[in-house]
Amino acid sequence: SQTIHQWPATLVQPVGSPLSLECTVEGTSNPNLYWYRQAAGRGLQLLFYSVGIGQISSEVPQNLSASRPQDRQFILSSKKLLLSDSGFYLCAQSSGDQETQYFGPGTRLLVL
Amino acid sequence: QQPVQSPQAVILREGEDAVINCSSSKALYSVHWYRQKHGEAPVFLMILLKGGEQKGHEKISASFNEKKQQSSLYLTASQLSYSGTYFCGTEGEYGNKLVFGAGTILRVKS
């Protein structure tokens, strides 16, 4: 079965600092990969999704970017963090014919 | 387009039943249900496919009315462990990625 790893688990960063969050997937090949952000007590906001290496679709224009350098690796980045970037960042994957998404454990980011 | 979930929140006592609804303005191919406990990632519960049967396991089941573009999640004889936020994710007829509702907060009290 597939496993999703995310790191770091928690992160505290100052405003204006860069960001790099990593997601790796095991147990499946050529998955669709997703980055979500969840503000405290809120729903799931889709940020980016990818159907293959180097293929990134952005859902919400902002100061974040994503890259997929390998089939099972998905990276979320920022050059300069904003206070509003604080939240719970979730990586998810789907594969096969069905669109069921399975989530990683998440990274909790606090920007001060 | 984001599906609409109702109610936004519900408080139950142990042993009571609850229904969570998910409605879409678009024709649907499938509906997926997830539960997220506080501080954790969402966990997949079940999928309902167009033309498929009502699904369920233990005391949690769901139905999918394709004509009304609606799905309902039924929680029977609720337990403390059922507490969390429930999300539905809908997939349109042409195989697009899931779109999630805003969530329904369920709290079960002893």
Q: What pLDDT is stored for residue B50 in this prediction?
A: 82
Are B41 and A101 an interchain contact pair (Cβ–Cβ within 8 Å)? no
Q: What pLDDT is stored for residue B95 in this prediction?
A: 64
The CA-atom distances, in angstroms, between B30 and each of A40, A87, B90, B93 are 28, 29, 6, 8
Question: Could you give the CA distance from residue A80 to residue B49 in angstroms, rounded to a whole number?
Answer: 42
Q: What pLDDT is stored for residue A61 in this prediction?
A: 64
Q: What pLDDT is stored for residue A2 in this prediction?
A: 82
Closest CA to B34 of B102, B110, B93, B80: B102
User: Sign (positive/negative) of CA torsion A23, A85, B100, B73?
Assistant: positive
pLDDT band of residue B51 (cuts 50, 70, 90) is confident
Closest CA to B69 of B31, B16, B12: B31
Q: Nearest by CB to A44, which of B30, B32, B87?
A: B87
Give A89's strand partners. A37, A107
Q: Spell out which residues of chain B touch residue A99, defining contact as CB-CB under 8 Å.
A: 30, 32, 89, 91, 95-98
Tally of CB atoms within 10 A around B21: 16
Tell me, rounded to whole angstroms, the distance of Cα A20 from its chain centroid.
10
B30 touches chain A (CB under 8 A): yes
Q: Spell out which residues of chain A touch residue B30, defining contact as CB-CB under 8 Å.
A: 98-99
B89 touches chain A (CB under 8 A): yes
A87-94 and A32-38 strand pairing: antiparallel
- Asked if pLDDT for residue A13 goes beyond 90, the answer is yes
- Which chain A residue has the Cα nearest residue B95? A99
Q: Which two tokens stand for residue A83?
A: 């206070």
Burial of A109 (0-12, 13-18, 19+ CB in 10 A): buried
Rounded to 5 degrees, φ, ψ at A74 are: -135, 130
Please state, for a pLDDT cut of 70, what percent of chain A lies above it: 98
Weakest-pLDDT range from A68-82, B11-25, B45-59, B62-76: B45-59
Rounded to 5 degrees, φ, ψ at A79 are: -85, -35
Tally of CB atoms within 10 A around A33: 27
Choice between B62 and A98, residue whose per-residue pLDDT is larger:
B62
Question: Could you give the CA distance from residue B94 to residue A93 in angstroms, rounded to a whole number?
Answer: 19
Q: What pLDDT is stored for residue B103 in this prediction?
A: 96
pLDDT single digits (tens) A74-112: 999 999 999 999 999 999 999 876 778 999 999 999 999
Question: Could you give the CA distance from residue A100 to residue B98 in angstroms, rounded to a whole number?
Answer: 8
